[in-house]
Amino acid sequence: MKLYAPSYYKKFKCIADKCRHSCCIGWEIDIDEFTLGKYQSAEAPYASEVLKSIEDSENPHFMLCGGGRCVHLDENNLCRIILNLGEGYLCDICREHPRFYNTVKNGMEVGLGMACEEACSIILNSDGYSEISEICELGYDEESPEFDACVPRQRLFSILSNCEKRYNERLFDIYNEFSVSPNMLGDEKTRLVLSRLEYLDSNHQKLFSCYSGALFDCDGQEKILERALAYFVYRHCSGAEDIFEFRAALGFCLICERLLASLLKNCGDAVELARIISEELEYSEDNTEAIKSEFRLSFTNP
Ligand code: SF4
């Protein structure tokens, strides 16, 4: 099976101690069985420190200390596991973050998640989101899905990148082509749905209350919004099992895009705002599902 990635994928390198929102703060990191075994059999002195730092529960994970910091994050925001044992001792989640994977018709796709500020900056500043090419052979196979979500996705990307039309016209064309738009839920309902989600930071709940699904003038932010929407679609629509699920996922993506547009209207750093949307909405399966299920309902009860 082949692995595919967008052209910007290879630009990513973790900025470690220069990161303002380290993924080693605020997240409980589950440790996979294979890596746990490596800690148990390692002889280096730091391996016993690592073992002591694991909370023994059904899902073994690293303890967090003050400010929700991973216990292995040092005062310079560098990982002590890498410094003492080497990168080969990172658990799957730490080694893979911020990458995500989707099984598609002709193989597997990998992308960079926008909750990581470096990945977010790359995504919002790179052209060529529709250039998805093979990066390696994985050496194993997985069952191929029957539905090929890459076909409607490619159609969507060609509408989205049509420079002969203004950005809002392209969005309008997408709404028509796929019979899904943020207005199917309406602004009031969407704000209510957003307000009821689970938040990592309660300030973001208030921040998101400015949501509007209207196609207002985006004041030179069109490229940012276009690339953000392409990212959301690449991540959430590509693994859809049928066109119904593709449209529900697209509804979620369109809400994220309009939320970013609404936040940018009030000014602010586009990378930081997109990162917040990613962290709060798409990095919580429950939140993503809550919004998608509103679209499923609106498709069946128009
Ligand atoms: S959020 Fe991204 S850049 Fe920051 S520490 Fe994590 S992987 Fe590195």
Strand 2-6 and strand 107-112: the pairing is: parallel
- Minimum mean pLDDT among 103-107, 191-195, 245-249: which range? 103-107
Q: Is the CB of 15 under 6 A from ligand 1?
A: yes
**20 CA: nearest ligand 1 atom:** 4
- Looking at residue 72, its pLDDT comes to 94
**Measured in angstroms, how far is the CA atom of residue 15 from the centroid of ligand 1?**
6
Predicted TM-score (pTM) of the model is 0.92
- Looking at residue 302, its pLDDT comes to 66
* 169-186 confidence digits (pLDDT tens): 999 999 999 999 999 999
Q: How far is residue 266 from each of residues 208, 218, 262, measured CA to CA in Å? A: 11, 11, 7
Q: Whose structure tokens read 């049509």?
A: 162
What residue owns the CA closest to ligand 1's atom 7? 14
Handedness of CA 11, 224, 100, 97 (dihedral sign): positive
**98 CA: nearest ligand 1 atom:** 7
Of the CA atoms within 13 Å of residue 207, those in its CB half-sphere come to 22
Q: Is the CB of 19 under 6 A from ligand 1?
A: yes
**Measured in angstroms, how far is the CA atom of residue 180 from the centroid of ligand 1?**
34
> Would the pLDDT of 301 be above 80?
no
